[in-house]
Amino acid sequence: MLNQLQIAKSINAAMYKAGIEGKAYIQRCPANFDRPSYYIDAVQEVVRSDNKRLVHVTSYFTLTYFPSLVGHQEFCSIDALINAHNAVMGVFRPGYLQVEDRVITIKSSSGGNADDRVYIELQAEYYDDRVDPAAQPEEPVADSIAIDFK
């Protein structure tokens, strides 16, 4: 069974593998954090029942990317913001994400930007077992079946 921490770590791994420059944070960015960097925030998780054994899980994340500032100012150039946005969106363009031994669907959309950061909204979707299979008792299996046609 997957969880949001595993997905966040895989998002970070995808960013690293794609060569996105910067330090990763999965907890709130501390004061005087390094730039460039990005913060991965697990926003929400929705679990929908699909059948007796499966659920459909949608996990929402906000990835905030902080490009380098212009000199010692408190803003980034528009070029840096657009380049950062395009680079991060490109990481998730294939539409899938490797999470441990599974591959799940991931969607990305622009969340806007501020003077010094870019927001990318991520939506990870996958099917999972309703309960942990290891915790389920094994049901007895019939030794034989008799069918009476009348």
For the chain, percent of residues with pLDDT exceeding 90? 53
pTM of the model: 0.82
Q: Answer whether 111's CB lies under 8 Å from 120's CB.
A: yes
Mean residue pLDDT of the chain comes to 89
pLDDT over threshold 90, residue 150? no
Across 26-48, average pLDDT: 87
Report pLDDT for 104. 97
SS3 at position 114: coil
Task: Determine which of 25-29, 45-49, 92-96, 145-149 has the lowest per-residue pLDDT on average.
Answer: 25-29
87 Cβ contact list (under 8 Å, min separation 6): 18, 20
- pLDDT grade, residue 136 (50/70/90)? low
Query: Helices H, strands E: what count in the chain?
Result: 2, 6
Q: How many CB atoms lie within 10 A of CB 100?
A: 10
